[in-house]
Chains A and B, each alone.
Chain A
Amino acid sequence: MKRYETSYFFREGIRGVFLHGFMSFAAVGVIVACLLIMGSFALLAFNLDAIIKDIQNNNEILVVLDEGLSREEFVRFGTTLSGRTDIMDNIAEYTPISKDQALADFAEKVDEEYRYLIEGFATDNPLRDRYVVKLIDVNQMQDTVLKLEALNGVAQVYARLDIAQNLVRLRNAMNTISLLLILILLAVSAFIISNTVKLATFDRREEIGIMRVVGATKSFVRWPFVIEGFLLGLIGSIIAFFLQWRVYALLTERISEGLSGIALIKTVSFGEILAPVLGIFLLAGFLVGVGGSVLTIRKFLRV
């Protein structure tokens, strides 16, 4: 393609965007809305995934042993555990904590003014020996807990089973909803773009007819419309990107302010995902804009 042809196509494409002002505005608006909704769901799902991964990475369950176990029995439990390959398959690491150590750790967490209460337990420790177990796969938590509970010497296993399972369920639901929404909204955006271009081509069908009569190739006729669609997609995706950035920043700010006490909620900062989000938005805008144009212009070229 020659340089003057390229500049002509761009001029005509830009002219088209302004010439069909209202439809262009509507198309950009729809792209922005669709990308924002898609982006928000995708980011929510992404964050949930990150939280679940975080829980998996830091997921500890507490195996409390029976009261009155001797020192040897406490150590032997660790040997028994490491010998059970069916349980160890899902255990990243385990740490034995004696009841004295547990009491000391607990005392450290208690405020100074109430520490005297703990001192009373020094001679009669109510805590028990325990093992802190870090899991590999949170999805198999329930199975691992059941196996641990069945071991000799285990009094109780404390696990955040419900939280982990709910998060996994929520993430799976979010992934499905996000995927469905993305597909629906992409189709809606392409439909709107297609209508914008349809209106533009209908408005210029006479001109297209004349172009064809004087010997314009199909690609020559098509390019300005493709560029018009591309520009609409590009403008829409850039606006959506900045809005998404703002919305995300506001939401994560609120979450971290409101839920600062809950260590479980950790959001991914937008800076970390800026490049992929921009890339995906631009790609989606490009596909919707150019795709909508190409599909629409085809039937107007049969002259």
Chain B
Amino acid sequence: MVRLVDVYKAYGSGTRALKGVTLRIDDGEFIFLVGPSGSGKSTIIKLLTGELRPTEGRVQVNGYNIGALRQRDVPYLRRTLGVIFQDFRLIEKKSVYENVAFAMRVVGASPREIKLRVPYVLDLVGLSHKARRRPLELSGGEQQRVAIARALINNPKMIIADEPTGNLDPARSLEIMMLLERINALGTTVLAVTHEKELVNRFAKRVVAIDGGRIISDKTGGYYQYEAIRN
């Protein structure tokens, strides 16, 4: 579960990225976080992954209080999360299998556990047949599916997808969103940051809109509501 209570975040440069954000995400939810560039979306993600600490307010992620989190506990917080990026961030020198297995290895999984779990997750994202390929031999959609497999491999409580379809064509974007929806149906919380209006509307999930560091809308049912508020 994620809770942000009256969170403020100011950077050293004086920029105030968040101004009193309060948000609750329950286990098993699927949420779209939308907003223009510089609205504070990335700051929220960085707070959730422990990369940043709030200036004021309270951020609680899967039982970790981010404001009071010790540096050595950050890896353990991150093991409860799976993060997906717009640019996939795969290791080019490693195969699809190794890219996914690598994420298990870093959390101390045994070779036996890796052998059992990786094929299962690759099957879940539909990439079993491409396990030996290198990322650059795959399409953008496939690369993103590898990234999703990597995010899922350690069975996180929550997937954070930062513009997961930003580099994909509409058909592949839909595939990725459907895959995230499937993962959500299996019980994993999904927080997706996106600009794709049509995609957001198509899934009719809870949409949290942020602008100027403040949450301006939090409703189930689509992106257009946010635009209506802005206009």
Contact = CB atoms under 8 A, between A and B. Distances in A.
Given A206-B89, A215-B76, A303-B51, 9 more contacts: A206-B91, A210-B91, A210-B102, A211-B106, A212-B78, A214-B78, A214-B150, A215-B75, A217-B75
Contacts of B106: 211, 214-216, 220
Chain A interface extent, by class: 10 to 19
Q: Is the interface of A mostly helix, strand, loop or mixed?
A: helix
A4 B113 CA distance: 12
Contacts of A4: 110-111
7 contacts: A4-B110, A206-B91, A210-B89, A212-B75, A214-B150, A214-B154, A215-B154
B83 interface: yes
Given A8-B105, A206-B91, A207-B91, A213 B110 contact: no
B188 interface: no
Interface in B66-112: 72, 75-79, 82-83, 89, 91, 102-103, 105-108, 110-111
- Nearest first, the 10 closest Cβ-Cβ pairs linking A and B are A216-B106, A215-B79, A215-B78, A214-B103, A215-B75, A217-B75, A211-B106, A207-B91, A215-B107, A213-B83
Interface string B29-51: 00000000000000000000101
Interface in A253-303: 303
A214 B107 contact: yes
Interface in A201-223: 206-207, 209-218, 220
A213 B49 contact: yes
Nearest to A7: B111
Contacts of B51: 303
B118 to A, nearest CB: 14
Interface string A216-241: 11101000000000000000000000
A2 interface: yes
Interface centre among A207, A209, A214 (most CB of B within 10 A): A214
A73 interface: no
A40 B99 CA distance: 48
Interface of B: 49, 51, 72, 75-79, 82-83, 89, 91, 102-103, 105-108, 110-111, 150, 154
A5 interface: yes
Nearest to A204: B91
B91 A2 contact: no
Interface of A: 2, 4-5, 8, 206-207, 209-218, 220, 303
Interface centre among A4, A211, A215, A217 (most CB of B within 10 A): A215
B148 to A, nearest CB: 13
Contacts of A206: 89, 91
Contacts of B75: 212, 215-218
Contacts of B72: 217-218
A216 B83 contact: no
Contact of A216 (B49, B77, B107, B110): B107
Nearest to A209: B89
A4 B102 CA distance: 13
A19 to B, nearest CB: 9
A1 to B, nearest CB: 9
Contacts of A211: 102, 106
B135 to A, nearest CB: 12
Interface centre among B51, B103, B150 (most CB of A within 10 A): B103
A217 B154 CA distance: 15
Contacts of A303: 51
A18 B51 CA distance: 33
Contacts of B154: 214-215
B76 to A, nearest CB: 7
Nearest to B107: A215
B119 to A, nearest CB: 19
Contacts of B105: 8
Contacts of B76: 215
A262 B91 CA distance: 67
A115 B143 CA distance: 102
Contacts of B107: 214-216
A135 to B, nearest CB: 63
A5 B108 contact: yes
Contacts of B110: 2, 4
Contacts of A218: 72, 75
A211 B49 CA distance: 13
